[in-house]
């Protein structure tokens, strides 16, 4: 069975540009969450989507947005990129909304470098 797949795996952008990252959840999983992992830190929560609706948002500026499609795949968009947006962006899926034993399964991530 395919796990959580993310694309692209690596990308380089310049300050001020826009980026779109994509995620396909495990088949049967209806919830997708996005996390940002800056070098030397643990992953930080950005968004959670469940049944195509935003169900949670972390402490990130409005430059960050996301959506979930009818097939449960998801996109993360970041506008007006800053150097500090350089990070590994992780997508995770779960059957439900991630409570209790409904643990998150992570993809390998998209590594974004902003120059």
In the complex, which residues of this chain contact another protein (CB under 8 A)? 4, 33, 35, 40-45, 48, 50, 55-58, 90, 92, 97-101, 103-109
| Closest approach of another protein to the CB of residue 12, in Å | 17
**Toward another protein, which CB reaches closer, 16 or 54?**
54
CB of 16 to another protein, least distance (A): 28
The string of DSSP letters for 15-83 reads TT--EEEEEEPPTT--EEEEEEE-TTS--EEEEEEETTEEEEE-S--TTEEEEE-TTS-EEEEE-S--G
> What is the nearest approach in angstroms of another protein to the Cβ of residue 94?
9
Give 57's strand partners: 47
């Amino acid at each position: 069975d395919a796990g959580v797949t993310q694309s692209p795996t690596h990308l380089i952008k310049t300050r001020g540009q826009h980026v779109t990252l994509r995620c396909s959840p495990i088949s049967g999983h209806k919830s997708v969450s996005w996390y940002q992992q800056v070098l030397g830190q643990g992953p930080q929560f950005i968004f959670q989507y469940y049944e195509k609706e935003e169900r949670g948002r972390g402490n990130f500026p409005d430059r960050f947005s996301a959506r979930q499609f009818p097939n449960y795949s998801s996109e993360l968009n970041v506008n007006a990129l800053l150097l500090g947006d350089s990070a590994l962006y992780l997508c995770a899926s779960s059957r439900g909304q991630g409570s209790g034993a409904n643990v998150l399964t992570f993809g390998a991530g998209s590594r974004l470098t902003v120059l």
